[in-house]
Structure 1
Amino acid sequence: MLQHFVHYALHFVVIGFIAYLFDKKNWKKYYLVLLATMIIDVDHLWANPIFDPDRCSINFHTFHTYIAAAIYLVLLFLIKNKMLKVFFFGLLFHLFTDAFDCLWSNTY
């Protein structure tokens, strides 16, 4: 129960603090960008079953691989647009959150 609370708090609450750190005046705009990074989970729809509580997302789902993470990291540093930087940071934070969840449940 605590693990699920922490997982979703990282996905929905902590990104609010991150958005505030990016821009105190426009944090809501950046929160929405970070929230939009949940689109990464579309790759869960290709899995069978779609949800498996004992499965680690990292290196199982297409957009949750180490290769994808490397691409997000490179794009984070190459892109000049602040919104896109926040988006790629959000994708990496999403992967961090999922990896933390895998470590917690010993499914890594």
Structure 2
Amino acid sequence: MIEPFVHYGVHFLLPLAIALYFYKIVWKKAYIIMVLGMIIDLDHLLADPIFEANRCSINFHPLHSYYLIPLYILLVFPKKTRWIGLGLCIHLIADALDCRMMSY
């Protein structure tokens, strides 16, 4: 019951908190770009079935693979890609928490 609140809270509230705290002047732009990190969920369309409640996204879907996670982390460091990298990393944190909660 708490899983959806944690999952979507991390997806939407963590980027908002980061944007408001670190990027006060341009918080709306930072927030929108970070939330757009959810676009990597398009790879769920490649799965059959597209949605399965007890499936962990991490390393199942191509854009959620262990090979791409270091790339997403590296995107946080250059100033030009920081918000994109943060959005992708936050997305994967939300999905990892989801996977962790499934195992209990």
Q: Same fold (TM over 0.5)?
A: yes
Written as runs of structure 1 = structure 2, the 5 A alignment for 1:1-108 is 1-77=1-77, 79-81=78-80, 84-106=81-103
Could you state the TM-score of these two structures normalised by the residue count of structure 1?
A: 0.89
Structure 1 unmatched ranges of 5 or more: none
Conserved? CA contact 1:22–1:30, under 8 Å = no
Contact 1:44 1:50 in 2 (8 A): yes
Please list every run of 5 or more consecutive structure 2 residues that lacks an aligned counterpart in the other structure. none
Q: Which residue type is aligned with residue 3 of structure 1? A: E
Q: How many residues end up aligned between the 2 structures?
A: 104
Q: Which runs of 4+ in 1 moved over 6 A?
A: none
Describe the superposition over 1:55-95 as per-residue Cα deviations: whole angstroms up to 9, x where unpaired. 00000001111111011122333x341xx211111101110
> In the alignment, is the contact (CA less than 8 A) between 1:43 and 1:63 conserved in 2?
yes
The one-letter amino acid of 2:96's match is: A
Identity within the alignment, %: 45
Task: Point out which structure has higher relative CO (alpha carbons under 8 A, 6+ apart).
Answer: 2
Alpha-carbon distance in 1 for matches of 2:75, 2:8: 26
The one-letter code matched in structure 1 to 2:83 is V
